[in-house]
Amino acid sequence: MSRLLRRPRLAALSLLATGWLVTVGVAGLLAPWLPLPFPAGVPDLLHVAEPPSWATAPRHWLGTDLFGRDVLTELLFGARQVLLLSLPATGLAALVGALAGGGVGFWGNRGCRLPLAAWLVLLAAVWWLLALPGGGQAASLLLGAAALAWWAAPRWPWVSRAAWLLPLDSLFQAAVTLLGAVPRLVLVLALAAGPPLSTGKLLLLLVAVAWPEPARQVRAQMLRVRTLPFVEATRAAGLTTSRIWLRHALPHACRPLRATVPLSLASLIGLETTLAFLGVGRPPDVSSWGQLLSMLRQEPSAWWLLASAGGALLLTLLALQQLARANR
């Protein structure tokens, strides 16, 4: 913050950016309750694809789209997509990425040694989920064995020695390679190509393609942080490893996310509008900025669509970039 105060232009720009983002957020949140001149989803069939008319009676402040829907209403409801889809997806992706990247960076390939009981529980879970022969009975048998192993571990040394490594880092690299085999847009297009997805499923899909980015950053930072003296000190003080990881190392390893989360939100907004633009994965009656922009393909001279939806999208993305720059 002190750096911002020394550079007044940056501070003013950040203020503007925050102001715009808050406006978009409030508009999206309150869209169903705002006193709009035209209700959402109801076409004004007498005025289809008309530029803004401020003088004559049906005042469509920002014009109407190709179906005769009011652009201002559509724009406000489109902000809901940003709020209900892109924002939670970014948050969840950052959370998953921080936990995965932090864990992988801290324990690496040789640090995570699961005891016999944990392996048995995992095996039981897989057995039950896949409904392998025996089903529930076999799974409960395995769980019983796990409980026995857990009980026996402190008493018999050979049980506690039976702990196999979980190669976290290799698993992580494999997952990242798998998700990086094709560009993100192509992967999302391929996975969303089915019948229209619900908001929850689309959210999961966005999180699934977005988590490797924060995970990679947190992993790199964690590799540095775990060798710092203060982590050694917590170890010497006798804290448990999980506590050191969660309370001491992870908060430091997550520092780079402060600057990159606005950027990943921007890229997810871009991805979501792109999907809506191509008409993939969402039912056609969901308002979105991308959907408004897609009408330009049929009506290339509809400047009011480009100006309103494109302008809102552009301002949001630039504001997020400004936030990232200020947080760096």
Partner 1 sequence: MKRWLLRQLGRAGLAAWATASLVFILSRLLTVGAEDAMLSSGNDLQVRTAATSAAAHQALRQRLGLDEPIFYVTRISRESATWRWHGTHNQYHHWLAGLLQGQLGWSYRDGQPIGPKLRTALVYTLPLAGLAAAAATLAALALGLALADGPLAAPLTGWRASLQVVLTSLQGIPVFVLALGLLFLFANPDALNLLPAYSLADNPDGLPLGDYLLQLIMPVLTLVLAVLPELALPLAAALRHELRADYATTARAKGVPAAILLRRHALPNALLPLLTSFASLLPSLLAGTVLVESVFSLPGVGRLLAEAAASHDYPVVVAGVLVTAGGRLLGLALADALYALADPRIRLAL
Of residues 123 and 191, the one with the C-beta less far from partner 1: 191
Among 1, 55, 57, 181, binds partner 1 (CB under 8 A): 181
Does the protein bind partner 1 through residue 9 (CB under 8 A)?
A: no
Determine, following the binding rule CB under 8 A, whether residue 263 of this chain makes contact with partner 1.
yes
Kindly state whether residue 155 participates in binding partner 1, applying the rule CB under 8 A: no
How many chain residues bind partner 1 (CB under 8 A)?
Answer: 48
Helix count (H) and strand count (E) of the chain? 18, 2
**Burial state string for 228-240 with b = 16 or more CB within 10 A and e = fewer than 16:** eeebeebeeeeee
Our finding on whether 308 is near partner 1 (CB under 8 A) is no
Cα–Cα distance for residue pair 140/267, rounded to 1 Å: 45
Shortest separation between residue 185's beta carbon and partner 1, angstroms: 5
Q: Which of 41, 180, 251, 283 binds partner 1 (CB under 8 A)?
A: 180
Considering only 19, 135, 144, 251, the residue that binds partner 1 (CB under 8 A) is 135
Question: Is residue 252 packed enough to be buried (19+ CB in 10 Å), middle (13-18) or exposed (0-12)?
Answer: middle
The residue range among 61-69, 80-88, 93-101, 189-197 that interacts with partner 1, by the rule CB under 8 A, is 189-197
Nearest Cα neighbor of 111 from 27, 188, 172 is 172
Residues written for the chain = 328
**Maximum Cα–Cα distance for the chain, whole Å?**
88
Question: Which token pair is 101?
Answer: 């990247």
Residues that bind partner 1 (CB under 8 A): 131-133, 135, 177-178, 180-187, 189-195, 263, 266-267, 270-271, 273-274, 277-280, 290, 293, 296-297, 300-301, 303, 306, 310, 313-314, 317-318, 320-321, 325
